[in-house]
Structure formats: structure tokens, C-alpha cells
Amino acid sequence: MDLKQIKQIIDLMKRSELTEFAVEEEGFKLKIRRGLDGLPLVTSSRNSNPPATSADGSFPVATAPSAGAQPVNNSLIASSPEEEVGVTYVKSPMVGTFYRSPNPESKAFAEAGTKVVETSAVCIIEAMKIMNEIQAETKGTVVEVLVENGQPVEYGQRLFKVKQG
């Protein structure tokens, strides 16, 4: 799926009352749903491959293993040898703007002390005016939020420190 097709889907959602769209093909999974403020909210799953980009290299797209695939050590949350034992970091899968909540009036997705599981939404990263809901992809308790709300983030940047268990 290329950037042009994704933009067409988003345009279709804007013109209609469609609230959610999901597609999965050959290890690629994309889910777009209308957020609370009416803007598209993109949720994507990924495997250990780095994010793919469109033909022009401008749109980050995450990939997911197909059903029945063996779990892999995801480099976006893996601990490195110099890190604390039993602690992982949720890292940014893309370049964008970090938001702790779906809108300014809402409670933050995750704070220090919040228990998370692999599918827990922990933040949103805005990239190219698309809101990407980021999942914890690990189980444990958030120890520290490492980025301030509204700050730009880089690919692979640590967002949350999570104590496993």
C-alpha cells in the first residue's frame, strides 16, 4: 500500500461517515479510525523490520507479522546490555510530535505508575497531520515518561521507561 492509497482512504473517511478502516496484506497491517476530534487516528503494528516508507521516502509505515508468526524481539522496545535488568523502553517508531493524550482536555494515556500491556495505548505521535496511536508492546508498569507533551521526537527515541512484571 502506497502513500497515495492511504491518502485516498483518509479523504474517503473525511467525506463520509466512515469511522474505521482496516486492511491487512502480506505482513502489512493498517488501521485508521476517526479520533475524538474527527481527525483520522492511525494504529499500526510492526515486527522487527524498521519502518518502511513510500516510494518517495516520505511516509513512515509500520509492518506487522502475519497471523501465526513467531514473536520477535522488537528493537523499538528491547533493552540493551547497559540498561537496567527488568526495564524496557517504549521507543518512537517514527519522527513526529509526541502527545500524551488524544486531545488537550483528556487525561494522559500513561503516567508514572500506570500498568500497561502489549496493546495499551501510551501516546500519540503526529506525523504528516496523521495521529498515530502508539502501543506499549510490553507488559509492566510505567516508571517514567521521558518526553514532554508537544515535543518533537525522532525514530528510536525513548518515550517511556517500563519496569516489566
Residues 9-47: pLDDT tens digits? 777 777 776 777 777 776 667 777 766 555 556 655 544
Query: Quick one: pLDDT at residue 33?
Result: 73
Q: What number of helices (H) and strands (E) belong to the chain?
A: 1, 13
User: What average pLDDT does this structure show over 86-110?
Assistant: 92
C-alpha closest to that of 161 among 147, 149, 143, 148: 143
User: What average pLDDT does this structure show over 83-107?
Assistant: 89
CA atoms within 13 A on the CB side of 158: 15
pLDDT digits (tens, 9 = 90+) for 99-139: 999 888 999 999 999 999 999 999 999 988 889 999 998 99
| Domain housing 22 | 3-68+76-164
Strand partners, 162: 88, 142
Instruction: Tell which phi-psi region holds residue 113, choosing left (phi > 0), alpha (psi between -120 and 50) or beta.
Output: left
Query: Quick one: pLDDT at residue 153?
Result: 92
Query: Quick one: pLDDT at residue 37?
Result: 56
Q: What is the spatial distance between Cα 85 and Cα 39, in angstroms, rounded to a whole number?
A: 39
Query: Quick one: pLDDT at residue 71?
Result: 42
Query: Quick one: pLDDT at residue 83?
Result: 55
Block residue for cell numbers 485508521? 32
CATH code of the domain in which 88 resides: 2.40.50.100
Report the domain count for the chain. 1
Q: How much is the mean pLDDT over the chain? A: 74
> For residue 152, what is its C-alpha cell?
518533537
* Per-residue confidence band for 53, with pLDDT thresholds at 50, 70 and 90: very low
